[in-house]
Amino acid sequence: MRRLPALAALALAWSGCGPDDSGGSGTGGPGGGPAPPGRPNVVLVLADDLGFADLGVHGATDVRTPHIDSIAARGVRFTDAYVPGCVCSPTRAGLLTGRYPQRFGHERNLRHPFPPGAGLPVGEKTLADCLKAVGYATGIVGKWHLGIESAFFPLARGFDEFFGFLYGDHSYLDWDAEPGNPVYRQDQPVVESTYLTDAFTREAVSFIDRHRDGPFFLYLAYSAPHDPLEAPQAYLDRFPAIADPRRRTFAAMLSALDDGVGAVLDRLRVHGIEDETLVIFLSDNGGIPAENTSRNDPFRGQKGQLYEGGIRVPFLAQWPGRFPAARIETRPVSALDLFTTALAAAGGSPPGDRIIDGVNLLPYLDGSNPGAPHRILFWKYGSPAAVRKGAWKLVKVGSNPSQLFDLASDPGEQTDLAASRPDVVAELEADLAVWKAELVPPLW
C-alpha cells in the first residue's frame, strides 16, 4: 500500500475503511482530499414504500415514470433484488453498512418516540465513512431514519452535507407541522413552503453542481411515496383519469419523484459526467397498499412481511460504458451489495474487522463471473424469518409450520410445498438456524 499523508491515515483509522490493496490507493481524508482519477461518482436514489408494480418498466399503466425507467434502458434492471429489512430503518442500516442489520441488532423499525440510544450503532462504518476516506465528497438529501441523537446524526456518520429530516416520515406541504421533526440544513432547522420532494431534488442538483469535479457520493433518500399522501395541484392535474383520489395523489407524488430523478440525470449530462457516475435506484421495502395505494404485483405480501411483496423491490443501475444497456439480470442480489460494489468501483475496501454480507456486483455485471452473487439470502423481523436458496424460499412465522415455495414456478408464493419436500424444509431450516446463531438480540 502506498504511504498515505497524515490526514488520510487519520481518516482511515477513524473510518475503519481504506484503499483497496489490489490496486487502489486513496489519499482522501477529512475535508475531502483528492482521489485517484477514474473513480466514478456514486448517486444512490432510494424511494420509500414504493411497490414493485408501480414503475412503468414493471408494467404500471396508470402512473408514468419515464426518468426512472430510463435507468433500466441505459443500464441493468434486477428482477430478483431484495432488501435486508421489510421496513424502512433496517434496510437503510443494511445498505449503508453492507451488513445484515440483524447482525448488530438493528432489526426493527425506529418509531416515534425513539427509545434513548436508538440508532445505527456507532461502531458500524457507513458507505459515506468509507468513500470519504478515499477522497469522496459525501452528502445525504432526504430521509435519515437511523437515529436522532447527536451520535447518530448524518454529519457524525461520514456525511459532509445533510439536508433532510431524521424521523420516519414528514409532511410534504407543511414543513413546520411537527416542531420536533424539522427539516435540517446541516444541523440547523429550516422552514420553507416548497413541496418537500421538489426541495430534495433542488438540493440534490445543487450538490452535483458544487461537486461536479468529483468524486462525490450523493445519497438521495426521497420520502415519497411514503404517507402522508400529499401533492400540489400541479402534480395532481397530470392524472385526471385516476378516479380514486388516494391513488391519484400517490401517482402525483411518484411523478414528482420521477421528475427529481430526471433532474439529477439531466444535471449529470449537463456537466458531462454521466459516463463517470454510477447511478442506483431502489425502494427501501415493498409497498403498503392500505396506506399509500402502492402495488406489489405479482407478489404476495407487503411492507412488514417477509413474503416477496415485502422484500423484493425495484432495483435499477446504470454506469454507461461499464454496465450493458437494457440488461435484465435475474440472479438474486441484495441492497447489501451496494456498499461493496460502490467501494470496489471507488478503489476502496470495506472494514476488515467484521463480516461484510454485501457482494461486489461488478464482475457479475461485466461478464467476468457467470456464477451467482449469493448462494443464500436471509431475513428476520422479530419472530418471522425467511431464507432463499436458489429458487427455494422458506418462510417461518412464529410457531407456525414453515412454508416452502418454489419461486421459479411460483413467484407469487401461492403454493406451499413444505409437505411434499420435507428434505428441502429441513435443509433451509438448518441454514436459517446457523445464521440466527450469528446475530445479536434486537436493540429495541
> Is residue 112 flagged as an active site residue?
no
Using the structure block, give the residue that is written with the C-alpha cell 431450516: 429
Catalytic residue (choose from 88, 106, 130, 211): 88
**Measured between alpha carbons, how far is 238 from 426 in angstroms, rounded to an integer?**
52
Q: Which three cell numbers stand for residue 274?
A: 454521466
Catalytic residue (choose from 106, 145, 226, 374): 145
List of residues 6+ apart from 5 with CB closer than 8 A = 27, 29, 33
**Measured between alpha carbons, how far is 194 from 234 in angstroms, rounded to an integer?**
13
Residues 398 and 378: beta-carbon distance below 8 Å: no
Residues 254 and 224: beta-carbon distance below 8 Å: yes
Tell me the C-alpha to C-alpha distance, in Å, between residue 62 and each of 112, 118, 208, 234: 34, 39, 32, 17
List of residues 6+ apart from 76 with CB closer than 8 A = 316, 317, 318, 323, 324, 327, 328, 329, 365
**Measured between alpha carbons, how far is 142 from 162 in angstroms, rounded to an integer?**
8
* Pairing status of strand 183-185 against strand 188-190: antiparallel
> Is residue 88 flagged as an active site residue?
yes
State the catalytic residues: 88, 145
